[in-house]
Amino acid sequence: MLFNSYIFVFVFFPICLFGYYGLLRGGKPAAASVFLTAMSLWFYGYFNLSYLLIMVCSIAGNYLFHRLLSGKSLGLSRGGRGDASGHGEGKTAAESGAALRRAVMVLAVALNLGVLFAFKYFDFFLDTVNGVFGTDFILRGMLLPLGISFFTFQQISFIVDTYRGEVADCSLSEYALFVSFFPQLIAGPIVNHGEMLPQFRAFGKKRADWERIAGGLALFVLGLSKKVLLADTFGAGVDYGYGNLAVLGRADAALVILFYALQLYFDFSGYCDMAVGIGRMLGIEIPVNFNSPYKAVNIVDFWKRWHITLNRFFTKYVYIPLGGNRKGQGRMYLNLLLVFFLSGLWHGAGFHFIVWGMLHGVLYVLTRFWQRRMRTKDDGRVTNAARDKNGAPERCKDMTAQTGSGMSGFGRRIGHKFMTVLSQIATFLYVSVAWVYFRAESIAQANTLLRTVWQGEVKKLSLDLAECLQPDEFWYVIKVLRLDNLSFSRYILMFLLLAAGLYFSMVGRNAQERVARLKYGPVSAVALVVLAVWCVLSFSGVSTFLYFNF
């Protein structure tokens, strides 16, 4: 079931909202938890009942491992438990218990990754073997269960945290809701137990908070607008461009690259906004997964803003266990490259995803290297400045103070602002070029599009490409203003939408910031209603979220 669908907006969520708060009002928090779980299973099963069976089996199997690791079924606590008569025997029992727990944890993680491999990577593996060794293994062509990458990683984190002793006792109903909670089930964020279980256990204290519900509704509408009105509009141009690479000119190819960067931004951020908004309407705070990444001034900053919870997962469960930055700079950079390799592979079963991940990884390592180098230089300057200050005569100090004042200080601020904007634009362009490998069906297709930008024919912008970005409601305004007879009329909307997309993604406040500053009144209410109605009327032409494919 899609957030941007009639059944969700008019049937599913009203039932969910009123049923949930009705049970809480009746003093039945346990029933409210079970009700949310049942609604979440309906939400997921609506796509495909076989998907639901896979997820239910995954929940049951992982909960069993949780019970084993927590000592409830295995008979061993985290440190081991024994009734030995001697010190040596007790130590042996503890060591045996620890080894058994570790074996159970490794088995659980391996099984989760095995299921993910079977559904997502097995055909990619066979295709690679066929290409390298000239074999003819038949590909299975299995459909990828929606959200399997997300709920698999979420359960792996739960299992590992249980092994580490970080998870308190968890009931089956709590665990089932933790995994299946529908706002973040299909495309994240990848939440952890510490963020969600305490909120589930506080259901008995929750009541309808109308101000919070209003804020959640506003955030949902803004996220829906991003998806329906912007992402899908840019997506039409992207689909045309990738489907007609042979006829694109240089400018057309460059626009297609920009269109996809904006489509993915508004698609993913729109989903994240809707997920957080739905959670708030239910009185549950979902962690922020997206924080204006196109405002980043370098690639390190970008990954603090884009898919925040995935970055957190790889840091905690891959980067740090590999040694992080504790084993020297060379090992640190190697660990970072491995994380980005896995990040690319996690996003999709294809070499073009790996290339995308490594493009980010190489620049990330270079940026970290440069930052460490500049930090070392700055530390040296501070030391030298302190030494000079202690030995400088008073006249020198006065001259230094005068030099740092007046127009020179203003000039430094202007220079700093200019460099910040330049860094932001450079980072955006690099990320946009890397997205080509993320969107393309193969490395060859991505290379073709990039080659067109640099070596393609210089010709007039494609009218067919411009036609893809002509929403009927906007074109009607063009006609009312009598601009439709102009020779360039078909390009007006395309460039207006491009300018709006760049402004909202790189300059303006994001949806979370806008809702935080929103003053509820007639004007804001009318604006939100207009946006909501506009989105609903556009539902017939919308598509699924891009991250559903991962």
Which residues participate in catalysis according to the annotation? 347
How far is Cα 314 from Cα 339, in angstroms, rounded to an integer? 7
Largest CA distance in the chain: 96
Residue 308: CB atoms within 10 Å:
20
Instruction: Tell me the CA distances in angstroms from 122 to 119, 154, 234, 350, one per residue in order.
Output: 7, 21, 32, 11
Residue 440 per-residue DSSP state: S
- Residue in the block written with tokens 């689909």: 239
CB within 8 Å of 467: residues ≥ 6 apart: 490
Residue 284 per-residue DSSP state: -
Are 430 and 299 spatial neighbours (Cβ–Cβ below 8 Å)? yes
How far is Cα 262 from Cα 112, in angstroms, rounded to an integer? 33
User: Could you write out the DSSP letters of every residue in 157-182?
Assistant: HHHHHHHTT------HHHHHHHHH-G
Structure tokens at 161: 């945290």
User: Could you write out the DSSP letters of every residue in 233-250?
Assistant: HHHHHHHHHHH-GGG--H
By C-alpha distance, which of 69, 76, 77, 73 is closest to 107?
A: 69
86-95 own/partner pairs: CB under 8 Å, 24+ apart: none
How far is Cα 284 from Cα 39, in angstroms, rounded to an integer? 15
Q: Is the peptide bond before 189 cis (omega within 30 degrees of 0)?
A: yes
Structure tokens at 23: 């049970």
Handedness of CA 202, 203, 206, 209 (dihedral sign): positive
Q: What are phi and psi of 222, to 5 degrees?
A: -65, -40
How far is Cα 128 from Cα 131, in angstroms, rounded to an integer? 5
Structure tokens at 408: 């020179």
One-letter amino acid identity for 179? V
How far is Cα 16 from Cα 3, in angstroms, rounded to an integer? 13
Structure tokens at 100: 């058994």
